[in-house]
A = this chain, B = another copy of it.
Amino acid sequence: MENIGNQRTDLASEAQRMLRNGAKDLSPLPGVEAREEVRDGVSLFRVRVTDERGAKALGKPVGRYCTLEPGGPIPRGDGRFPQLARTLAGVIREMLAEPGGPFLVVGLGNEAITPDALGPLAARGVLATRHLKRAGNPLFARFREVSVCAPGVLGSSGLEAALQIRALCGEIRPKQLLVIDALAGAEALGLGCSFQITDSGIAPGSGVGNDRSPLSRESLGLPVLALGVPTVIDAARFGDSSLHGMFVTPRDVDELVRSAARLVAYAVDLALHPSLRFEELSALLE
A residues engaging B (CB < 8 A)? 75-79, 112-114, 123-124, 128-132, 145-150, 152, 154-160, 163-164, 166-168, 170-172, 187-189, 233, 235, 238, 240, 242-243, 245-255, 282-286
Q: How many copies does the complex hold?
A: 4
B residues less than 8 Å from A155 (CB atoms): 128, 131
Q: Is the CB of A242 within 8 A of B187?
A: yes
Q: Is the CB of A131 within 8 A of B160?
A: yes
Query: Which residue from chain B places its CB closest to the CB of A280 in the assembled complex?
Result: B77
Contacts A248-B248, A254-B113 given; does A242 touch B79 at CB 8 Å:
no
A68 to chain B, nearest CB (A): 20
Given A128-B154, A150-B152, A188-B246, 13 other A-B contacts at CB below 8 A? A77-B286, A112-B254, A113-B252, A114-B114, A114-B253, A128-B157, A128-B158, A130-B158, A147-B158, A159-B168, A167-B167, A233-B246, A238-B238
Q: Is the CB of A251 within 8 A of B245?
A: yes
Give the docked Cα–Cα distance between A158 and B130 (Å).
5
A156 to chain B, nearest CB (A): 6
What are 16 A-B contacts with C-beta separation under 8 Å?
A: A77-B282, A78-B283, A113-B253, A123-B156, A128-B155, A148-B158, A149-B157, A150-B152, A164-B168, A166-B171, A167-B168, A188-B246, A235-B248, A238-B238, A238-B240, A246-B250
B residues less than 8 Å from A156 (CB atoms): 123-124, 128, 148
Contacts A247-B249, A248-B246 given; does A146 touch B172 at CB 8 Å:
no
